Amino acid sequence: MKILAVNGSPRGAGGNTEVLLQAFLRGAQEAGAETEVIYLKDKDIKHCLGCFTCWTKTPGVCVHKDDMSAIMEKMKGQDVMVYAFPLYIFTFPGLFKDFMDRLLPFAQPIIEKRGDHFIHPPRWGKGLRRSVLISNAGFSETHHFDGLKKTFQLLNDGPDTEVLGEICCAAGPLLKIPELTDEVKWYPDAAYKAGIEVVNEGRISSETQEILDRSLAPDSESYANMVNSYWAGLGIEKIEADEFVAKADESPTDKALSPPSSVETIHDLIAAMPLAFKSEAAGDLEAVFQFDITDEDPGDYYLTIADGICTAYEGTHPDPNATIRTPADVWLKISRGQMNGAAAFMTGKYKVTGNLQLLMKMEKLFSRPS
């Protein structure tokens, strides 16, 4: 049996999900399965554009050229898929959601009736349709997984699809506390047994599933006390929401971008703008320009100008004077003098909100990159 696991934790092999995944895979290997793990955090997986090209012009093939095509090729040859990730906001982390969205080429656009409801028939992949769900959550109450389990059931709701079992571990951060290893060992042990059962019996037995459905910390009051003492040990206490806003305003946490060695991308261009800044032209100007870069190379950046210094940041400023919403290639062309900025604005190639006059000054504030 070939089992391919996808770990969708942004913490990858260093996370709590990995403890459960490895226990499950050890069991599966013990029972003779061939296993492999893909760590999504190390892969280049772009967001689905929603263009439906994979259903129309190039059936089964996405417009993006990134790591997803190799992953999908690999998925085609599996008997069982294991989807493992931490619970984020009651569901998948964005990393895993991007991966799931990008599986659209595996479905056909047609909708047809299977049983009592309609589905998109699959284009490929028996293994895609036999899967194990592995997750862990910071809270100790198992109902945190209700939405995720429902989503997973809907995803696999067809006569030819099967969820072979769910390993959803509440209070998952306890798994990696060295002092508690013996206390919590019963859970990874059950995950290990689940691995053996999936290979030998084709699914997780009801007895093992019953164990896996229990919380690592059934006494939520004690767990909350423990978590809060941990934070207190780090000097983190509860504060009122308004206090937080004041603190956040005082200390912006975005990191200034370092100047790049060459300008290839929009990220490079914005990081290089402080070098092209003409402080004598700025005088005593104080301004924040926010860039909302769309399309192929999306991102959020901003430039601050104060005391004759321009600094570039990645992120979103809470109170910019002007926001420029532009595709990356349009701004790159304008900055290289290959496109007229004013004409591009008039024809809607980019959009500006906030202080337009300030934006018009930009031309004078920066020299063109050579």
CA 323 – CA 257 distance, rounded (Å): 19
Among 6, 40, 87, 266, binds ligand FMN (CB under 6 A): 87
What letter does residue 14 receive in the DSSP assignment?
Answer: G
CA 65 – CA 102 distance, rounded (Å): 12
Least spacing, CB of residue 146 vs ligand FMN, in Å: 11
Both structure tokens of 85: 């990730």
Least spacing, CB of residue 175 vs ligand FMN, in Å: 8
**Torsion sign over Cα 269, 272, 275, 280:** positive
8 interacts with ligand FMN by CB under 6 A: no
CA 227 – CA 224 distance, rounded (Å): 5
- Which CB atom, from 70 or from 236, has the smaller least distance to ligand FMN? 236
Number of residues that bind ligand FMN (CB under 6 A): 17
- Which CB atom, from 17 or from 326, has the smaller least distance to ligand FMN? 17
At 170 the three-state DSSP class reads strand
Which residues, 6 or more positions from 109, have their beta carbon under 8 angstroms from its beta carbon? 52, 55, 56, 120
Among 65, 89, 241, 283, binds ligand FMN (CB under 6 A): 89
172 interacts with ligand FMN by CB under 6 A: yes
Among 6, 15, 168, 293, binds ligand FMN (CB under 6 A): 15
Strands (E), the chain: 2-7, 34-39, 80-86, 112-114, 117-119, 130-137, 162-170, 287-294, 299-306, 309-314, 322-327, 351-354
CA distances to 242, 244, 306 from 247, rounded to whole Å, are 9, 5, 21
Q: Which of residues 16-55 bind ligand FMN (CB under 6 A)?
A: 16-17
Q: Which of residues 97-126 bind ligand FMN (CB under 6 A)?
A: none
Binding mask 128-147 for ligand FMN (x = CB under 6 A): --------xxxx----x---
90 interacts with ligand FMN by CB under 6 A: yes
CB 174 within 8 A of CB 143: no
- Which CB atom, from 78 or from 140, has the smaller least distance to ligand FMN? 140
At 42 the three-state DSSP class reads helix
Least spacing, CB of residue 302 vs ligand FMN, in Å: 23
Least spacing, CB of residue 290 vs ligand FMN, in Å: 23
- Which CB atom, from 91 or from 209, has the smaller least distance to ligand FMN? 91
Among 2, 11, 43, 361, binds ligand FMN (CB under 6 A): 11
CA distances to 56, 101, 104, 107, 296 from 60, rounded to whole Å, are 9, 13, 8, 8, 21
Please state, as a whole number, how many other Cβ atoms lie within 10 Å of the Cβ of residue 284.
Answer: 7
86 interacts with ligand FMN by CB under 6 A: yes
- Which CB atom, from 17 or from 321, has the smaller least distance to ligand FMN? 17
By beta carbon distance, the residue nearest ligand FMN is 15
Among 3, 9, 68, 78, binds ligand FMN (CB under 6 A): 9
Choose one: 15-23, 29-37, 216-224, 269-277; the region binding ligand FMN (CB under 6 A): 15-23
Q: Which residues bind ligand FMN (CB under 6 A)?
A: 9, 11, 15-17, 86-90, 136-139, 144, 172-173
